[in-house]
Structures are given as structure tokens and as C-alpha cells.
A = this chain, B = another copy of it.
Amino acid sequence: MPQGESGADARSARPTMKDVAALAGLSIKTVSRVVNGVSTVDPELATRVQDAARKLGYRPNLTASNLRRSDGRTLTIGMLVEDAANPFSAALMRAAEDIARSRGVLVLFGSLDEDPARERELVEALLDRRVDGLVMVPAGRDQSYLAAEQQAGTRMVFVDREPGLLGADAVVSDNRQGAITAVEHLLAHGHRRIGYLGDQITIPTAAQRFDGYQYALEYARLPLDPDLVRHDLHSTEAAEEAVEQLLALPEPPTALFTSQNLVTIAACRALRRLRKHQEVAMVGFDDFPLADILEPGISVIAQDADALGRIAAQVLFSRLDGDTSATRTMTVPTRLIPRGSGELTPRSVRA
């Protein structure tokens, strides 16, 4: 005979609908109706259910209801970023979290550290948990392995970088235009030798920014001097060393365009050590805290990480709500913030 009394193992310590039904003297179907807010329940019975639920400390088991439910929703989405501890990733996550929360959805997260193998592992781990959808900054360049999953109905939105070999929604910054704006700003202040310091060129955003750098020089009919270009600066040390090497050239650059957050900070540090921070101009891609407080303040091309994360989540939910229009890439504009470092002029001009 089913009783409110449960077995001895740990899991049964948590009351179920059956326990609530037994205490209220009703069927579990009626309890289910009350828990789910179905309006066609006798108010008196509803009260009995609510009292019993409160008394037992009953909480619905979402994972069980999801299993049987026709929409199959877990009210959970997955979010994969480069590194949860990095300010840009953290801002993306927080923005997506807020959109999700407004719909009662929670976010599972994972850091990929630019490792395609990890991307696949974590995607599988998320899918095994039957997340309703995925927001991700891809680490690899090939997401075709997700095609079957997409067919199976899992919604996915890419953010910061477009997917490779897969048609899916994406929300990205206007990287190329941002880089063009940065370089043209330096050109407008009289610079003709502008160094490029960038992250791994295999990262799509890095490639797009480098492309913008090239285009701006070409448009100004200036030659691209390969000695002034340094890629693959993934560590702080590598970036600082690259700055030192560039400035030790017979014809050193009078300005630098740094294509990413950490590279920009490393360059600041190197210029200060060389005591050239009031002399060599610099514009960085990506804003960072305290950029305004340094002397000179660091001019940057700011990305709107909040908007990227927010829009990506909104697109995901609109897909979950049934939007079946063609997938597309949305571009979020960047913004030049002049703070001093980008407005330094070369000696030749100042003289």
C-alpha cells in the first residue's frame, strides 16, 4: 500500500508527488495539476495539495517532468566560452544569463581554452544533459559535427565568431571595420609606420582584424612592411618581447595596433618599461578596465560584449519559440574611444 513513508536510501529523503498525494488524500494527477498551475482544479482541493506540499517541503523534479513532457524542455541552456575568467567571456556569460533568467532558464557553462577537442567534449556533455540550446564561442574551425544535432532539433547560436562548415545563427563584432577605424585613426595623426601585434591568426576574429589592418594601409597606399607584423602572441611574455623587438628595428614603428585585450595590456607594460609610452602611439582592440586611468589613457576599439551576449541569447530563445526564418549573422558595431595613446603624433610631425 503506497504510504507517505519512504525507504531508507538518500534519494527517498526528498518527497515526491506521490508523497504529497498520499498526504492530501488525492491522486498524483491532481497534485500534478496544482503544481503546474492548471486552472481547472477545485479550489478546495488545490488548497489541500498546497498545504501538503508545503508541509513536506515538496519541490517538483524538473528532470523527471522533462522526460515525459511533450515539449521536452529542460529549461537549461549551455554556454561555451573561451575562458570564464576572462573579462570578455565573463561579460558574455552574464548578459546571456540575464536573458535566460527572465525566462526561468538556467545556464550551464564551460571554458574551451581555444581547444577544439575540449569543444567537442563539452558540447557532448551538454547534449547528454539535453540542454534546450547552445550559445558558444567556437574554439575549432569546423562545427560540421553539429549538423546532426541541429537536425535533431537542438538550437544553437554562435557568438563572437561564426561557425565553420555549418549554417547557424551568429552574433559577432564588426572586427574588420573596427580594425580599419583603428588604423585610420593612427594614419590621421600622421603615422606611416604602424606595427601590428596580434593573437593566433587561426582565430577568425584575429584574422578579420588583421585583414582590416591590411586594408586600411592599402587604402592609404602605404606598403605593408612584414617586419612590423607579429602574429601568435598568445602569452604576455611573447607580446612584450614582440614590442621590444619592433622598437629595436632600424626603422621602428611610431604607432602600434594591438588586436586583442591581453596583447594591448602586454604592450602597455612593455612601452612603460622602455619609457616610450608617451612617444609611441597605440590603439587596442577591445576595451579593458582602467584603460582610462593610465597615462596616457589607452585609446581602444571597444566591443559591446553585453550586446553580443544578450543578442545571442535572444536569438536562441526566438528560435526555441519557433522562429524558423533563415539563419543569419548579426553584426554588432564597435566604437573608437580616444583616450590619449591613439592621439600621440610621431616625432616627425611634432617637430
Contact = CB atoms under 8 A, between A and B. Distances in A.
Place the interface of chain A in its size category. Answer: 35 or more
Interface string A35-78: 00000000000000000000001011111101100101011100
Interface string A105-124: 01111110000000000101
B124 A97 contact: no
Interface stretch (A10-18, A133-141, A174-182, A243-251): A10-18
Which of A64, A126, A129, A265 has the largest count of B CB atoms less than 10 A from its CB? A129
Interface in A71-109: 72, 74-76, 83-87, 89-91, 93-94, 97, 101, 104, 106-109
Contacts of A128: 59-62
Contacts of A101: 110
A106 B129 contact: yes
Closest 10 CB pairs of A and B: A85-B94, A10-B153, A90-B90, A11-B72, A62-B128, A13-B152, A84-B94, A63-B63, A14-B152, A290-B290
Interface of A: 9-11, 13-14, 57, 59-64, 66-67, 70, 72, 74-76, 83-87, 89-91, 93-94, 97, 101, 104, 106-111, 122, 124-130, 148, 151-153, 265, 268-269, 272, 288-290, 293-295
